[in-house]
Structure 1
Amino acid sequence: MASVKIGVDVGGTFTDLVLEKSAAGADGRTVFVHKVPSTPADQSIGVVNGILAICAHAGVDPADVDLVVHGTTVATNITIEQNGAEVGMLTTRGFRDLLHIARHKRPHNFSLHFDVPWQSNPLVKRRNRLPITERIMPPDGRVETPIDLDEVRASARQLKANGVEAVIVCFLFSFLNDAHEKAALEIVREEMPDAFVSGSSEVANVIREFERFSTTAMNAYVGPRTARYLNNLESRLKREGMDAELRIMQSNGGIGTVATCSERPVTILMSGPAGGVIGGRWAGAMSDVDNVITIDIGGTSADIGVIADGQIRIMNPRDTVVASHPVLAPMLDLDTIGAGGGSIAFRDDGGLFRVGPRSAGASPGPACYGNGGTEPTVTDAHVVLGRLDPERFLGGDMSIDPELARKAVQEKIATPFGMTLEQAALGIVTIVNSNMALAIRSNSVARGFDPRRFSLMPFGGAGPLHGVALAEAVSAKDVIVPPAPGITAAMGLLATRMAYEFTRSTPTLLNGPAPSDFALANATLAELTALAAERLSADGIDPAQHQFERVAECRYQGQGFELRAPLDGTLSAEIADDVVATFHGVHERDYGYRFDDAIVEIVTLRVIGFAEVAPLQWPELADAASADISGALLYTRPTTFDDGKTVTTPRYDRDKLFAGHVVPGPAIIIQHNSTTLVPPGYTARVTKSSNIIIAREG
């Protein structure tokens, strides 16, 4: 029986889709890719339009689709646009201003003129932060002051009268004893049945009250709109006759259900970029490459990730900040900078030549789009340099005007800086490449990874135009261009697993003169494992398919933050020694030093429950009948490369290149969703897996 799966990734300009149709037999898999314009006002419109379009393209009845996996920026956009819900908060008496005070950390240490975002744009306004008489005490979670439930009820009624859409309950030390939070939540849900309600012990059951409160506040801030969007999308699909399972990409690289992600939308704040890293690992594995630096270059931003030994890195909790607010939700380790095809080049007030982070976006877009844009962008620069051909843009589906690109670059850059048109266009490309190279180095070299051991994988609509220049700048060993670069993030959605994470702070000394009894830690692990199994079972996953990964977040005793170390099974003296040894190694890699004689403690235990999903299988390419690539030649045109030389450059149709073909530079390889630049002195080799590997000749 045939199976149909669709991955949908929403970007600022385009919504990318991939459909895999599989029938019985090893050769029964077919993959289709597609792009449609995004609909920023309501992403679900573009998503449904795209799904119907790719189904028509693939000859599939929408009713036959089994699974839709969606990467969305809805929650992220709410934080950027600062248009989330009005949130109310119940908290321990005396700690009403904790979200305002934070940690007294200055955003910019040496500036007298700076904004404090958690004060100027609070997730919860002070008038909606109400104190409750109660107190739980460490280290055992004993009740010092019983909770005043009458206060809770009165406060809930006050918040309802204030018109808040969401309510959070955040009490001190609830990670040790959540009885007070549960009692308060029950009353709030009774008094405000239509509100979005969550407690800190449900969202982030970990130590550090400010970060825990902030995470819970962010969950409520994005919660109502995100839940409405996900439920609206599910309803739209059903109205179109689709009864497919809808899954959402989470920030940790796993996929979850609509119900789970609606309840805890804080887990999908990085849903959009996560698919790209997963897709990068998938494409690298097809060529047996485990060390990959991914750079996903779209219209507005570039997302950079590092995959070492086939493992995707999870960000350190101290760095998981969204819109300047700490969020203790597991996120893939990504850096995002304002650099993309739509990044605007300009002369700043000090007379300097700058590119980005301001973007032309989808509307009006680059000047060459002819939609009223007059600012020169990176895309316009590539058009001026002859790297993007008007009649082949998006496979000919979108027309662009090179004269508008030349006019914008000439008037806004070349004339003000006294440059020729080509010098100005090259300057735009050089500056944006420099910005991206700096970000790549900060995510690799500064984290203990040597780019010389890694392949650079550029994707996104603009990625392969910049791949070789970026690889040169960071000394990567080669460049891998995946089969459908513009759709790689969507492909990642069909190459991941279902996964849920559960955490609890359980301080445990692993070594030293008086190591802890491991009974409490093992009891926590057992309880978290049971919670993960319960969630997977609720999603219809057979218990035989349940898998569990256990992680200890450790630090040297007295340190401020933790690093992750895998924990194999339950804790014992032998396992504790393994965790300590692993932690020393991770600490040395991240910080450059280690203290082998220091006491190591676990602060937080984490259990990831997951179930593998059959990954996307891209069809292998047929072997080339000969080394002759003339059958793929489209035409030749003058093209200017980074050295400033303009040479006649052949264009090749990627769909007509087969396994074993070698394309010498200079060359441009064109496909519907992206364009790959092969400079002089480089060759592009087409592999059986459909990847193109670009390296220096010889």
Structure 2
Amino acid sequence: MDVGGTNTDLVLECAKGVFYHKVPTTLKNQSIGVVEGVRGICSLAGIKPSEVDVIVHGTTTATNITIEHKGSETGMLTTRGFRDILHIGRHKRPYNFSLHFTVPWQDQPLVKRRNRIAISERILPPSGEVETALNEQEVRDAIKLFKKRGINSIVVGFMFAFLNDAHERRAKEIILEEMPDAYVTLSSEVANVMREYERFSTAAMNCYVGPKTAFYLRDLESKLREAGVTSKLRIMQSNGGVSTVESCAARPIRILMSGPAGGVIGGASEGVMAGVSNVITVDIGGTSADISTIPDGRVKIMNPRDTYVSGHPVLTPMIDLVTIGAGGGSVAFIDEAGAFNVGPRSAGSEPGPACYGRGGVEPTVTDAQVVLGRLDPDLVLGGDLKLDPELSWKAIEEKIANPLGMSVKEAALGIIKIINNNMALAIRSNSLARGIDPREFSILPFGGAGPLHGVALAEAISAKDIIVPVAPGITAAVGLLKTDLQYDHTEAAIVELNASGDDELARINEAARRLHARVVAELDDDGIPRDQQRVEMVAECRYRGQGFELRAKMPDGPVTHANKSVIVDSFHDQHQVDYGYSYRDQEVELITLRAIGRAAVERLHVPKVRETDGSSIDRALMFVRTTTFDDGSTLETPRYDRTKLYAGDKVNGPAILVQHDSTTLVPPGYVAETLDYGNTRVRRAGIA
């Protein structure tokens, strides 16, 4: 189940087949909508909730807390003299050439300055020796102050704790003695790496979102139990793997990009089913569009220097994607200067687009699709969601068309063109700007609104074709059932590899041993047999003096003088791939070791659809209505029930393919071919 800003999507695989379901997201408490959805899809499949073996959940709870700045009041203990690290940051300007901008880490701090308390203690590099012992009385005094202020979420960030975490661990013991119910995060637990600002920010973010996220996850687990679901509950992480409720409640920074990650995994698997290795996924829901480029079928992990959430650096592995405010609920408006804008503000599901009839009066992208005849008011969600086209027409006419002196259809086309251009720019930033040629890629649009925009986006970036998933509106939920359990742990191991001696290599191997034991312990706690566990060691390296690291391969077994060149050569190769050059004669520094523990889980199996028997596609024809396309032409356009098309069937545009969870637009001059699994390839007519 995947919770979005507008809808909650569910997919169920059981002995009777694969079932898909959609329910409105309950924004005040997402778990209510989730439980309703679980009951609904089980009823649809004719099974009892108690028969479900495992549930995988993608959530935006932690993300929304950061976006809306509704995190917990947090207290911080830090080394004396370094109280303002979180305020100073890296002296980076969010916008280099703007005189009017906000600095997120100063204007919306994760920990207010009055709640950052300095403690006498000091650990020195490079060995981690203690220069000043921890003043335990100062820690106790600080906790008394936090209790007086009603703060029970506390982050501990001491200088050089990644070299020696003894002071942080002792501080945590004292905190729990004084305040047993406190939510405590140590910087050495969540980001055991160098760079104090990023480490402190990561730990502070964990405490900021932690209490509310932990409450949501445990509340959801409790509500599912009350509904009769006794199965394991797994949570999607930002790195593309799933984890347990307890693990994610303790480290919610792991699920800051939980929802979008499921979409990327689902999109990648859809590319495999279509026999396409190069895909650009575009997940367009009601509120946002999440875009990711997948070359050669490999889901990319973002470089740590780019992992920002709401303007704050967070050192946790995240799938490489771009998110913009563009979706079916994006509001069209005219600003104070008279410019025509669409998004990023969204009408969401409450009140939703004007056509929902729930009190919304502002025109949205969905309203534009209705006015242009691309969304049939009586067919959305299989007729479960009735739309009022008159309300769409009125909203666009009053808010856009009349003020700009244009017809309602011209205004609706303008809304679509603006939102498509916004998304095309984001796609280019994630592909072309990184040296990737979109002409070699297929656009894979999904989400409830995705297939309506697929062809226009492909034209805008010159993609070779469009692949529409089997269940576009549910693809992010499908991705949750196509991923593995995964845990990441890091440890600092700063070594100049070329000049390293026996002592340095022994230090690397000892750190690798500890990390290996840590991830194995987590997989053991999940009940994963040892023969099903896979642990990968990664070396994060840089050229001496560089600001950030790249991932390099580790040799099999212990690092020795004979095989340390495996790490060095791998780093040079990765630098060449990422930046187009490398310095083979320069010193390479190992900065961080990372252990990634994985365990394969049973994957969703999507059955193939029936092959075409040569019969007419009229078997899928529903009716014909007028539809307006991007070139302004209004044509009689047939609607086809997509579920009645067989593998090999071809539908010539103009046409609209209708299904319960989404609608696919096939403009004139394009042809849509149904593929083996019921997915669809859309391309220009006459192109093989």
Normalised TM-score (structure 2): 0.97
Q: CA deviation at 1:676?
A: 0.3
Q: CA deviation at 1:146?
A: 1.4
Residue in 1 aligned with 2:198? Answer: 211
Distance in 2 between the 1:515 and 1:407 partners? Answer: 76
> Given that residues 669 and 676 in structure 1 are in contact (C-alpha distance below 8 angstroms), is that contact kept between their aligned partners in structure 2?
yes
Distance in 2 between the 1:364 and 1:151 partners? Answer: 50
Q: CA deviation at 1:283?
A: 1.1
Q: CA deviation at 1:512?
A: 6.6
> Given that residues 681 and 696 in structure 1 are in contact (C-alpha distance below 8 angstroms), is that contact kept between their aligned partners in structure 2?
yes
Q: 1:281-320 residue pairs with structure 2 within 5 A?
A: 281-320=268-307
Task: Tell me whether 1:168 sits opposite 2:161 in the alignment.
Answer: no
Q: CA deviation at 1:514?
A: 8.5
The sequence identity of aligned pairs, in percent, is: 61
> Given that residues 555 and 602 in structure 1 are in contact (C-alpha distance below 8 angstroms), is that contact kept between their aligned partners in structure 2?
yes
Residue in 2 aligned with 1:4? Answer: none
Cα displacement string for residues 11-58 of structure 1 (whole angstroms, at most 9, x for unaligned residues): 111110001103xxxxxx611000111111001100111101111111
Q: 1:184-203 residue pairs with structure 2 within 5 A?
A: 184-203=171-190
Residue in 1 aligned with 2:402? Answer: 415
Distance in 1 between the 2:297 and 2:553 partners? Answer: 16
Task: Tell me whether 1:630 sits opposite 2:624 in the alignment.
Answer: no
In 2 relative to 1, CA 179–389 (structure 1 residues): closer, same or farther, beyond 3 Å? same
Residue in 2 aligned with 1:530? Answer: 517
> Given that residues 165 and 224 in structure 1 are in contact (C-alpha distance below 8 angstroms), is that contact kept between their aligned partners in structure 2?
no
Distance in 1 between the 2:651 and 2:553 partners? Answer: 44
> Given that residues 627 and 660 in structure 1 are in contact (C-alpha distance below 8 angstroms), is that contact kept between their aligned partners in structure 2?
no
Q: Secondary structure at the match of 2:220?
A: helix
Q: CA deviation at 1:679?
A: 1.1
Comparing 343-352 with 289-298, which one deviates more in the overlay? Answer: 343-352
Which of 645, 652, 660 is equivalent to 1:664? 652
Tell me the amino acid that sits aligned with residue 214 of structure 2.
A
Residue in 2 aligned with 1:238? Answer: 225
Cα displacement string for residues 41-82 of structure 1 (whole angstroms, at most 9, x for unaligned residues): 001100111101111111111111111111111111111121
Residue in 1 aligned with 2:635? Answer: 647
Task: Tell me whether 1:17 sits opposite 2:17 in the alignment.
Answer: no
> Given that residues 136 and 171 in structure 2 are in contact (C-alpha distance below 8 angstroms), is that contact kept between their aligned partners in structure 1?
yes
> Given that residues 381 and 661 in structure 2 are in contact (C-alpha distance below 8 angstroms), is that contact kept between their aligned partners in structure 1?
yes
Tell me the amino acid that sits aligned with residue 16 of structure 1.
D
Tell me the amino acid that sits aligned with residue 399 of structure 2.
K
Cα displacement string for residues 90-146 of structure 1 (whole angstroms, at most 9, x for unaligned residues): 111111111111122222223333222212221112222111111111111111111
Q: CA RMSD in A?
A: 1.6
Which of 575, 582, 598 is equivalent to 1:610? 598
Q: CA deviation at 1:577?
A: 3.1
Distance in 2 between the 1:120 and 1:624 partners? Answer: 60
Residue in 1 aligned with 2:422? Answer: 435
> Given that residues 633 and 653 in structure 1 are in contact (C-alpha distance below 8 angstroms), is that contact kept between their aligned partners in structure 2?
yes
Residue in 2 aligned with 1:226? Answer: 213
Q: 1:500-579 residue pairs with structure 2 within 5 A?
A: 500-511=487-498, 517-570=504-557, 571-573=559-561, 575-579=563-567
Task: Tell me whether 1:588 sits opposite 2:579 in the alignment.
Answer: no
Give the length in aligned residue pairs. 685
Task: Tell me whether 1:695 sits opposite 2:661 in the alignment.
Answer: no
> Given that residues 567 and 575 in structure 1 are in contact (C-alpha distance below 8 angstroms), is that contact kept between their aligned partners in structure 2?
no
Tell me the amino acid that sits aligned with residue 235 of structure 1.
S
Which of 82, 100, 112 is equivalent to 1:95? 82
Which of 249, 261, 266 is equivalent to 2:248? 261
Uncovered stretches (5+) of structure 2, i.e. residues with no partner: none
Tell me the amino acid that sits aligned with residue 227 of structure 1.
A
Residue in 1 aligned with 2:124? Answer: 137
> Given that residues 91 and 131 in structure 1 are in contact (C-alpha distance below 8 angstroms), is that contact kept between their aligned partners in structure 2?
yes
Residue in 2 aligned with 1:66? Answer: 53
Distance in 1 between the 2:507 and 2:663 partners? Answer: 56
Tell me the amino acid that sits aligned with residue 139 of structure 1.
P
Tell me the amino acid that sits aligned with residue 223 of structure 2.
R
Distance in 2 between the 1:432 and 1:478 partners? Answer: 20
Which of 455, 459, 462 is equivalent to 1:475? 462
Q: CA deviation at 1:667?
A: 0.9
Distance in 2 between the 1:615 and 1:520 partners? Answer: 39
Distance in 2 between the 1:14 and 1:544 partners? Answer: 39
Distance in 2 between the 1:423 and 1:52 partners? Answer: 43
Comparing 34-43 with 370-379, which one deviates more in the overlay? Answer: 370-379
Q: Secondary structure at the match of 1:518?
A: helix
Comparing 411-420 with 354-363, which one deviates more in the overlay? Answer: 411-420
Q: Secondary structure at the match of 2:378?
A: helix
> Given that residues 395 and 672 in structure 1 are in contact (C-alpha distance below 8 angstroms), is that contact kept between their aligned partners in structure 2?
yes
Cα displacement string for residues 207-263 of structure 1 (whole angstroms, at most 9, x for unaligned residues): 100110011011001111111111111111111222110111111111111110011
> Given that residues 146 and 152 in structure 2 are in contact (C-alpha distance below 8 angstroms), is that contact kept between their aligned partners in structure 1?
no
Task: Tell me whether 1:378 sits opposite 2:365 in the alignment.
Answer: yes
> Given that residues 501 and 607 in structure 1 are in contact (C-alpha distance below 8 angstroms), is that contact kept between their aligned partners in structure 2?
yes
Cα displacement string for residues 561-584 of structure 1 (whole angstroms, at most 9, x for unaligned residues): 112223343434565434333333
Residue in 2 aligned with 1:460? Answer: 447
Distance in 2 between the 1:582 and 1:349 partners? Answer: 53
> Given that residues 343 and 378 in structure 1 are in contact (C-alpha distance below 8 angstroms), is that contact kept between their aligned partners in structure 2?
yes
Q: Secondary structure at the match of 1:390?
A: coil
Q: CA deviation at 1:627?
A: 4.7
> Given that residues 11 and 18 in structure 2 are in contact (C-alpha distance below 8 angstroms), is that contact kept between their aligned partners in structure 1?
yes
Distance in 1 between the 2:581 and 2:332 partners? Answer: 41
> Given that residues 314 and 330 in structure 1 are in contact (C-alpha distance below 8 angstroms), is that contact kept between their aligned partners in structure 2?
yes
Q: Secondary structure at the match of 1:174?
A: coil
Task: Tell me whether 1:56 sits opposite 2:43 in the alignment.
Answer: yes
> Given that residues 58 and 235 in structure 2 are in contact (C-alpha distance below 8 angstroms), is that contact kept between their aligned partners in structure 1?
yes
Cα displacement string for residues 447-493 of structure 1 (whole angstroms, at most 9, x for unaligned residues): 22221221110000000000011111111111111100000000111
Tell me the amino acid that sits aligned with residue 145 of structure 2.
Q
Distance in 1 between the 2:388 and 2:563 partners? Answer: 64
Tell me the amino acid that sits aligned with residue 619 of structure 2.
G
Distance in 2 between the 1:403 and 1:569 partners? Answer: 66
Residue in 2 aligned with 1:5? Answer: none
Distance in 2 between the 1:566 and 1:628 partners? Answer: 54
Q: Secondary structure at the match of 1:231?
A: helix
Tell me the amino acid that sits aligned with residue 5 of structure 2.
G
Distance in 1 between the 2:410 and 2:561 partners? Answer: 65
